Structures are given as structure tokens and as C-alpha cells.
Amino acid sequence: MVKLNIDRIKEAEYVRHAFRVTVPVTVSYQETLDPTFWGHVASKLTVGDKIEIVPEDFSWYAEVIVRACSRVHAAVGAITFKEFHSKKENKPASADPDFSIDWKGPQRKYAVIRLADKEVIKDGFASREDGAAWLEENRVEVTA
């Protein structure tokens, strides 16, 4: 039986980096698997680095490992991927003729927007579903 040589075991922190990447909500998980996606940061990466990827709205989570890299690209391999949002949140924002519920960034989060004048009626919702529930409860007040 072959035994592992003592110089082949090391603490992970000394042989690889761990990164956390926050992408805009418009970026899909599939796009992060494209080697050219990493082009602007590839010089910071080395083979074996682990990268956690989340969009600004935390609707999914992924972990990838760098399998190959150069100064202009990095090939990553999927470790795990998990979607968190419900099927209701996948409905298009244009389903309501008077209002939309759109992502407005990590500070404002999801916002209810009146389409007639593009006014943000209320923001700070953790999910599109929460914004839709608030709109249904307050529709009379916001349309008057």
C-alpha cells in the first residue's frame, strides 16, 4: 500500500487563496463559468484558488475552483451551485401594467416603481415577492 509523503500535506491557507465575488444581478451563473469572464482579474488568481460567487440580491450561491489561468483568462470548475429565489420571483417584472419591481442595488434592494412617472414608491425589499406582497396590500394608496 502506498502512503502519503509528509511534504504533500499542507494547510490550505498556505497553498491557495479563497475569494468572494459579488456580481451584478444581471450576471448569470453560467456566465461566470466562461474563462473570459475572469479576464480583468485573472492575474490575481492561481490554479487551485477557491472562489465563492453571489449576485447582489443573493438569489443564488456558487463555488468554483480555478483549474487553469493566464493573465487574460481563468478556467474554473464548478464545485456547487444553489438557487434561493422562489418560482414566483422569476415572473417578469412587466406582469403588472402600472408597476414594476426591480433590483436597485445592494443598498436599495428591490423597489416598487410606478411606471407612469418612474417614481420609486418604496424600496428595501429583500425579494421581488416581498415587494409584490407590499404592493397588493397598498395598491389603493399608491394609485390614488
- What is residue 97's predicted lDDT score, i.e. its pLDDT? 84
Greater pLDDT, 139 or 81:
81
- Set of cell numbers at residue 80: 456547487
**Is residue 113 situated within a structural domain?**
yes
Same domain, 79 and 91: no
Side chain identity at residue 25, one-letter code: V
Cα distance between residue 94 and residue 99, in whole Å: 8
Instruction: Identify the CATH number of the domain in which residue 44 sits.
Output: 2.40.240.20
Residue 1: pLDDT band with limits 50, 70, 90: very high
For 104, which DSSP code? -
Domain span at 39: 12-83
Whether 43 and 74 map to the same domain: the answer is: yes
Residues 133 and 70 in one domain: no
Give me the residue label for grid cell 451584478: 24
Identify whether residues 48 and 97 lie together within a single domain.
no
Indicate if 78 and 33 belong to the same structural domain: yes
Grid cell at residue 70: 493566464
If DSSP codes are grouped into helix, strand and coil, which group holds residue 60?
Answer: strand
**Residue 60 confidence class, pLDDT cut points 50, 70, 90:** very high
21 and 70 both lie in a single domain? yes
List pLDDT tens digits, range 61-113.
999 999 999 999 999 999 999 998 654 444 444 467 889 998 888 888 899 99
Kind of pairing, strands 110-114 and 18-23?
unpaired
Do 19 and 56 belong to one domain?
yes
What is the rounded CA–CA span in Å between residue 46 and residue 68?
A: 8
Angle at 56 between CA 19 and CA 136, to 5 degrees: 155
Within a 10 A sphere around the Cβ of 55, how many other Cβ atoms? 22
Domain total for the chain? 2
Q: Alpha helix locations (H) across the chain? A: 29-32, 128-143
74 and 17 in a common domain: yes
**pTM across the whole model:** 0.72
